[in-house]
Structure 1
Amino acid sequence: MFGTLSGNADVLLKREIEAQKYLLKVAKKYKLPVEETKKTLKNLKTYEELLKKRQGMR
């Protein structure tokens, strides 16, 4: 995903989370396929979990 997680990993994860949320918000408007929406939801959950774990490590 991001290679070795560094200090910028939190920023990258937050950007990915925002991007996934945006895609879900505009899915109907741009007629994204259901499978794509499912992948987006899965990715969002994964990114949120990773960020939560990283923030818990501090």
Structure 2
Amino acid sequence: MAVPKKRTSKMKTRLRKAQWKAQAKTEAAKALSKAKTVIKALLVENSQTTASNDQISS
């Protein structure tokens, strides 16, 4: 296992963690947006299918 030769400063550690968290936050926002888009598309598709079925049965 690799062992670091010097101790990493608190500033560098916190900077790295902050960058990682910021990137994770943007990726999470993208994923949520994509999920909302998919759900909306499914709802629209489902409502169109239901409407067409209602017209056929009428």
Q: TM-score, normalising length from structure 2? A: 0.45
Which has a greater percent of helix? 2
Q: Which has the larger radius of gyration?
A: 2
